[in-house]
Amino acid sequence: MLFRLIDPIERLAARVSRRAWRADAIDDPLAQVPADVPPERLTDHVVLVGYGRVGRHIGEALRANGLTCVVVEENREVVERLRAEGALAVWGDGTEPAVLVQAHIARARDLVIVTGALPRTRQMVDIARRLNPRIRATARAHNDQEAALMRQEHVDRVFVGAEELANSMIQSLLQRSAAAYHGEPAR
């Protein structure tokens, strides 16, 4: 009997937690993009969910190439640091519709998800597509099975870490081989 109560209790706890987060986030300046950001910066931008090692590289590359990126991150300290650096960042859970709304997903061009497991990724893509049917979704998968499921869910681009590393190494080897064939010095 106790085991039957586990699922309902967990669902109730999750709902209570989300409601508490929403109540806290309403007055939290880190839960929304600052009001002084010009609207044109928040149109055709990239919403990047997760700012760990991979997300940081993506965000830095986007900004270095002049593309607007709004980071969605659950770690408050990371959001505070990004804001101090002048980056656009929103604190919160990307599976919460209100958080994606605050990242202006409705006017975004791309959604890039580099965190979370498959169910969370599915949830974020579903929310984003309901708010913006034309959004392009890119996600990171942990293995080939996840990647196949994400593709079935219509995630536009899926990257698997080991596969991408192998592709980069192959490309490097082929470039060096081609250079050697043409008599160029190896790098």
The per-residue pLDDT for range 45-89, each reduced to its tens digit, is: 999 999 999 999 999 999 999 999 999 999 999 999 999 999 999
Sign of the alpha-carbon dihedral angle for 74, 78, 80, 82: negative
pTM: 0.78
Measured CA to CA in angstroms, residue 179 lies from 165, 166, 170, 173, 175 at distances of: 21, 20, 14, 10, 6
> What structural domains does the chain harbor?
30-181 (3.40.50.720)
The per-residue pLDDT for range 10-38, each reduced to its tens digit, is: 555 555 555 544 545 556 888 888 888 88
pLDDT in the model for residue 91: 96
The set of residues, in sequence order, having a beta carbon less than 8 Å from that of 162 and lying 6+ positions away, is none
- Residue 128 CA to residue 134 CA, distance in Å, equals 9
pLDDT in the model for residue 164: 87
The number of CA neighbours under 13 Å toward the Cβ of 1 is 0
- Residue 173 CA to residue 177 CA, distance in Å, equals 6
Residue 27 phi/psi, 5° resolution?
-100, 5
